[in-house]
Chains A and B, each alone.
Chain A
């Protein structure tokens, strides 16, 4: 039950594009297309931004996109805006029938 691996921090300027990575194993990200990405602001519950690798829930900006290659999933945010500042977590369903989260990436919009 090892956590997925995410970079601790990423920063970018308004208008830029950034990509957050999330690395797992062949028993989670590499096995299923059940990767989700969450945004979390201080004191708030996580908010779903991407589900099933690359799908956006209704109401989430199309500046957010997801992809996967092998055991690594990615979240790309284009046209960075100040409100994108926050913590981002990836998660994946696993072959054990459980869920696993990444350690989180703190995104700072400069």
Chain B
């Protein structure tokens, strides 16, 4: 059974930094691109960032480019999202997901990031 488990969320002041981590199990991790998706309270899903299985190809949403950095460690089956210069509008539930694999589409339960003073 594939499991994705996010961690690292919490309350952070505007301008602060946070690192989210996602641990995968039950899957050949290096074979899959990993994605971060967020959902602000009461709002819709927003794609945030993607990293290819090898880690060579990386993409960001315009809203986070230059502030967020995605990385992965295939030896540990983890993918991280380093978030800098956080803003109130970054407040959201952050999901780690494997998308685009046909029916093998997996999401974690999410980790909540709250940016507030």
In the complex, A85 has a CB within 8 A of chain B: no
> Is residue B23 within 8 Å, beta carbon to beta carbon, of the partner chain?
no
B103 at the binding interface (Cβ < 8 Å): yes
B101 nearest CB neighbor, chain A only: A51
User: Shortest Cβ distance from B100 into chain A, in angstroms?
Assistant: 6
Among B37, B45, B46, B59, chain A packs the most CB atoms within 10 A around the CB of B45
Q: A45-B108, A52-B102 are in contact. Are A99 and B47 (CB under 8 A)?
A: yes
- Smallest Cβ-Cβ distance to A45: which chain B residue: B107
B99: nearest residue on chain A (CB-CB)? A99
Q: Of B37, B45, B61, B107, which is within 8 A of A104 by CB?
A: B45
A57-110 with Cβ < 8 A to chain B: 57-58, 87, 89, 91, 93, 96-104
Residues of A within 8 A of B59 (CB): 96-98
Name the residue among A1, A36, A48, A99 with the largest chain B CB count within 10 angstroms.
A99
Q: Knowing A45-B95, A96-B59 are in contact, say whether A101-B103 is a contact too (CB < 8 A).
A: no
The interface bits of chain B over 6-41 (1 if a CB of A lies within 8 angstroms of the residue's CB, else 0) are: 000000000000000000000000000001010000
The answer to whether A45 touches B61 (Cβ under 8 A) is no
- SS of B interface (majority): loop
Docked complex: B53-95 residues within 8 A CB-CB of A: 57, 59, 61-62, 95
Q: Does B1 contact A (CB under 8 A)?
A: no
> Considering only CB atoms, which chain A residue lies closest to B60 in the complex?
A98
Give B63's nearest chain A residue, CB to CB. A1
* CB-nearest residue of chain A to B110: A45
The count of residues in chain A whose C-beta lies closer than 8 Å to any C-beta of chain B is 27
| A3 proximal to B (CB < 8 A) | yes
Task: Indicate which residue in B45, B100, B108 contacts A89 across the interface (CB closer than 8 Å).
Answer: B45
A34 within 8 A of B: yes
Having A93-B100, A99-B99, one finds 11 other A-B pairs with CB under 8 Å, namely A3-B46, A36-B105, A38-B45, A46-B45, A48-B105, A52-B102, A55-B102, A96-B59, A97-B50, A99-B37, A104-B45
Q: Report A's interface with B, CB cutoff 8 A.
A: 1, 3, 34, 36, 38, 40, 45-46, 48, 51-52, 55, 57-58, 87, 89, 91, 93, 96-104
